[in-house]
Chain A
């Protein structure tokens, strides 16, 4: 009885606290500017199913793909067993889903194998990060919290899975010794290797082990849920909306700035009606998180910090400071900082004299980009670091006039000669009469 009440209280507080934090994240994301990402539902669903559900973009790197698939599939499916644990918790039953009969035995066996694969995957991931030092997993933007975050997640998954095995081992021993409550059910292809070590224990001790592991698992699940909003692990939820909202245009199509069109177009088309509100002039480009649109901010919260983008970035691999992953991490860090500022000041942001560009991201990073879209292509959850880089360039050029000198030269050539170099427009067709 008491355990039922504790369980229900835990479930309610765990869920409420999660929703409270999720709401804050939601608020932070919508600090961003409006952007129209509606329409084309079937293409969007398709992208989400392929990229998030089907993990299609992971497949280009087979080793992490397979290992991640173990963890991902395991994580999703083992939650079915958690459902049963929740049911047992509320109704004080033992393995209530056994009404499924022999299929239940199959499921439990299958979950054990999955749990083993999850453990294996996490162990190899830990080794890749901490022993083998795979380059993209040890770069400098990961030092400190991001590195710790990754290790915390991997270790807690291993702990959760171990608790599951130990619980099952104790359970099956109890099914033999004390089957008043522990009815005989389930199949245990992994944990039956552990069971012999427990056979000498008394019923009381076994129940203690079984219950402790059960509680550990339950606490673990709610703990994990509440850890998500603080962690890169948030991607397990946000990957779905984020891929649904993917940019469906060709990657080469950069956004059009309507505010600029409203200024330029009347020179060419006197009947043109402006589309932006002249009473709410917007900054050109982006200096801080408020200048980005909410999809870009959702991108930041969705980033898994996997570094696939950075490892395929031509500028990063040739030793430049630019790292598209860092662009995403900085955006999230700044957004979290802004969110805390709002919390502290009763719902309004009080200027802290800081900004994303300047205090987090440097001009040098922004100017190094090749706009090659390798990072966008590579991202397993369809994040677009390039759009943030472009918006920052826009700010630097159009608000600050602080492009590198050579680029200013290129701009004035284009303005004066209609070409990025200093050639006379009159010479444009000279090639026709030159020998080849």
Chain B
């Protein structure tokens, strides 16, 4: 695996008088969280591999405001949103791919009313499109025949009815795709959404991520595939709770594709 990745910021594109095909919205987790940064790099490896001209905002990106909005802080949300919309509109951005379902949902559904209209897709949708169009050829590699369960992120699944794109990508890797008892529209939250990621849970009998990890582990999978950096954190912790991290890995779909194909 070649360790270098190629990334240009929007500012660099503009300086050289070029326009990218698509903007990659990295998100806070993908930018700062050590585990999620690996997912970000995997997404970039795919983009590099198919030679898509993409840009990031770099230091000009700011939180979409999703956690503020879900937590009821509409002021802070709209401040963040309008700041980002100003940046995006100044660069005349038309199409955005996000590495996080929360960014995806917020920009796609909640920015238009505040003046930000873009075509927004999630990275699993982009990868599926690339495979469908024949631009990305994939094989199972180390995952061939392995048992994989996919955990639906709430903000990709129920919130936006995207259930098949991530599954199609996984299936293209020649694996044994298993479903948990609660999946797709009935999928169970990992416990992070609604700003719970940033606070202690209320008093109860169990953590939500433990409940969900238990359900995933009941399928005895080699990999729990996720499509959200927050789900990744929650499921990883859940698997550790059951001391199963040797046996079951938690990987983003982008990482699966990259690892299987040595991108």
Contacts and interface: CB of A to CB of B under 8 A. Distances in A.
A47 B70 CA distance: 27
B191 A370 contact: yes
Interface stretch (B76-84, B141-149, B171-179): B76-84
A394 B194 CA distance: 13
Interface in B144-199: 154-155, 158-161, 185-186, 188-189, 191-199
A257 interface: yes
Contact of A318 (B37, B76, B114, B207): B207
A398 B75 contact: yes
Interface in A268-294: 268-269, 284-285
Contacts of B249: none
Nearest to B205: A319
Interface string B184-222: 011011011111111111111111101110000000000
Nearest to B41: A436
B59 A314 contact: no
A431 B159 contact: no
B234 to A, nearest CB: 11
Contacts of A431: 26, 30-31, 37, 40-41
Interface string A368-403: 111111101110000000000010111111100001
A54 interface: no
Contacts of A377: 158, 185-186
B86 interface: yes
Contacts of B67: 410, 414, 420
B131 interface: no
B205 A436 contact: no
A252 B159 contact: yes
B120 to A, nearest CB: 12
Q: How large is the interface on B (under 10, 10 to 19, 20 to 34, 35 or more residues)?
A: 35 or more
A43 interface: no
Contacts of B61: 418, 428
A250 B200 CA distance: 29
Contacts of B22: none
B58 to A, nearest CB: 4
A264 B78 contact: yes
A52 to B, nearest CB: 19
A133 interface: no
A374 B208 CA distance: 13
B42 interface: yes
Contact of B186 (A252, A312, A376): A312
B110 interface: yes
A46 to B, nearest CB: 16
Contact of A394 (B74, B79, B154, B205): B74
Nearest to A373: B158
B260 interface: no
Given A393-B72, A410-B71, A428 B59 contact: yes
Interface in A386-436: 390, 392-398, 403-404, 406-407, 409-411, 414-415, 418-421, 423, 425-432, 434-436
B243 to A, nearest CB: 20
B65 A398 contact: no
A406 B200 CA distance: 8
A285 B75 CA distance: 12
A367 B209 CA distance: 17
B68 interface: yes
Interface string A348-364: 00000000000000001
A219 to B, nearest CB: 43
Given A414-B67, A421-B28, A370 B189 contact: yes
Given A260-B75, A318-B204, A418-B80, A373 B115 contact: no
Interface of A: 60, 249-254, 256-257, 260-261, 263-265, 267-269, 284-285, 312, 314-315, 317-322, 364, 367-374, 376-378, 390, 392-398, 403-404, 406-407, 409-411, 414-415, 418-421, 423, 425-432, 434-436
Interface of B: 3, 5, 7, 9, 26, 28, 30-32, 37-38, 40-42, 56, 58-59, 61-63, 65, 67-76, 78-80, 82-83, 85-86, 105, 108-110, 113-115, 154-155, 158-161, 185-186, 188-189, 191-208, 210-212
28 contacts: A249-B109, A250-B161, A251-B159, A253-B105, A260-B78, A261-B78, A265-B82, A268-B83, A315-B208, A318-B201, A318-B204, A318-B210, A320-B204, A364-B202, A370-B208, A371-B193, A374-B189, A377-B185, A397-B72, A403-B73, A410-B71, A410-B199, A414-B68, A418-B62, A419-B32, A420-B63, A427-B32, A428-B32
4 cross-chain pairs, A with B, having the tightest CB-CB distances, nearest first:
A252-B159, A393-B72, A319-B205, A371-B194
